Amino acid sequence: MHTPPNTSSTAATPNEPAAVGGSAVLAWLYVGIPLAWGVSQTFIKALALFK
């Protein structure tokens, strides 16, 4: 018995690369902005310890 190849994929198809790229950018911004803020605040408070 021959099973057909699995054609479903989560990779972007040639018709929708911008939508997938935009989602990735939004996801990185959603995580990256608070992360950058937290790291900067920690760094600023650490600098105060060395004054």
What whole-number distance in Å separates Cα of residue 51 and Cα of residue 9? Answer: 55
pTM here is 0.54
Domain ranges of the chain: 23-51
List the structure tokens of 36.
């950058």
Residues 7, 15: contact at Cβ < 8 Å?
Answer: no
Q: What is the pLDDT of residue 20?
A: 80
pLDDT at 3 over 90: no
Residues 7-50: pLDDT tens digits? 665 555 555 566 788 899 999 999 999 999 999 999 999 999 98
Q: List, in sequence order, the alpha helices (H) in the chain.
A: 17-49
What whole-number distance in Å separates Cα of residue 35 and Cα of residue 48? Answer: 20
